[in-house]
Amino acid sequence: MTSTGAYELQSLNSFGVSAKAERLVAISDKNQLPQLQFQPQQDLILGGGSNLLLVEDVPGTVFQVRLTGRQLTRESDTRTRVTLGAGENWHAVVRWTLAQGLSGLENLSLIPGLVGAAPIQNIGAYGVELAESLVEVHVWDWQQQRERTLDRDACDFSYRDSRFKSAEPGRFLITALTLRLQHHFTPRLRYAGLAQALQETSKNPDAPSALEVSDAVIRLRREKLPDPAQLGNAGSFFKNPVLEAARAEALAAQHPELPLYASQEGHYKTSAAWLIERCGWKGFRAGDAGVSAQHALVLVNYGRASGAELAQLAARIRADVWREFAIELEPEPRILPPLAPLT
């Protein structure tokens, strides 16, 4: 399907901001790909639009990924490979795998969006990242005009990042993922709030089922995060900053309440929400653009905010955190065009 002429994207992004595209092309069959051209400067690949802030119109074509398919291949008595089309809904797939008796994705329940976007920022929640289950990413390489399969190492996954997001944005259209899931469930309850929630809901909180973990994650997320269908948002707007140990220790001496979590060797992760709240932004509202009163990391559209107003708000928050803590907050969603660098 191709639609041309100022196509409105408001219902296709979870912030619910108005922006237009010159053309909209739905990709529902891989055979369409060899006939298509992608120009990264002016075109956009769109999944569920839940990690995106459209500040301006898209001057070129929006490619809407609608490739479906769910395939199971038993590897052994303990593991099964699952290949999923990029246009499948992520949460529906998580619940479907659980219904097949397969575990591994339960902590990632209720993350909005489509399967194809999951590797872009290596989606993560409740102490688990996509990369832990991922075997291969199947792509269309616009540069080489051919299908390719990239194994996990080739994707350069790290915290909310990957080759697709940082090193080579715009080079690949992800067509499918292959994941490896488990027949025997080992709960991952590193995130304290999850273990606590299971104490209240699980029949056997020390050995919960994968479905119980998924249900608990869903309940926690519904309590904490605004539903984009009710209040426009893109989840966490900034990544949690990762600091070198010496810098983290110096900051902790100045701000003893600063939350610090050991991350990769010699580094600590701190809480972007804490930094933003300390700068007084939690619950702020200017017109229809605001910061959630429940969660300082979530920027919200109360109705008719424009992408530009939300981007301005993000830039002000970032400048304040920089002034106060000399920490540069990095946005998590794709912002089109990106925020100007801090000066």
Q: Which of residues 224-263 bind ligand FAD (CB under 6 A)?
A: 225, 228, 233-235
Half-sphere exposure of 60 (CA within 13 A, CB side): 15
| 121-129, 194-202, 250-258, 267-275 -> range binding ligand FAD (CB under 6 A) | 121-129
Cβ atoms of 170 and 105 within 8 Å: the answer is: no
- Hey, how many other C-beta atoms are within 10 angstroms of the C-beta on 135? 15
Nearer to ligand FAD, 15 or 268 (CB): 15
Of 9, 17, 24, 48, the residue at the interface with ligand FAD (CB under 6 A) is 48
d(CA 188, CA 210): 10
147 is a catalytic site residue: no
Q: Which of 106, 129, 212, 332 is catalytic?
A: 332
| 45-53, 91-99, 147-155, 264-272 -> range binding ligand FAD (CB under 6 A) | 45-53
Name the 3-class secondary structure at 62: strand
Q: How far is the CB of 252 from ligand FAD (least distance, A)?
A: 26
244's enclosing H/E stretch is strand 242-244
What single-letter amino acid sits at 308? Answer: A
85: contact with ligand FAD by CB under 6 A: no
150: contact with ligand FAD by CB under 6 A: no
129 is a catalytic site residue: no
Q: Phi and psi for 177 in degrees, rounded to 5?
A: -125, 145
Cβ atoms of 185 and 192 within 8 Å: the answer is: no
Q: Alpha helices, DSSP H only, in 46-160? A: 90-99
Alpha carbon 202 to its chain's center: 28
Nearer to ligand FAD, 40 or 280 (CB): 40
118: contact with ligand FAD by CB under 6 A: yes
Nearer to ligand FAD, 218 or 260 (CB): 218
Of 33, 125, 198, 321, the residue at the interface with ligand FAD (CB under 6 A) is 125
- Hey, how many other C-beta atoms are within 10 angstroms of the C-beta on 183? 15
Please identify every residue annotated as catalytic.
Answer: 160, 236, 332
Query: Which residues bind to ligand FAD, rule: CB under 6 A?
Result: 14, 44-52, 65, 86, 111-114, 116-118, 120-121, 123-125, 172-174, 225, 228, 233-235, 334
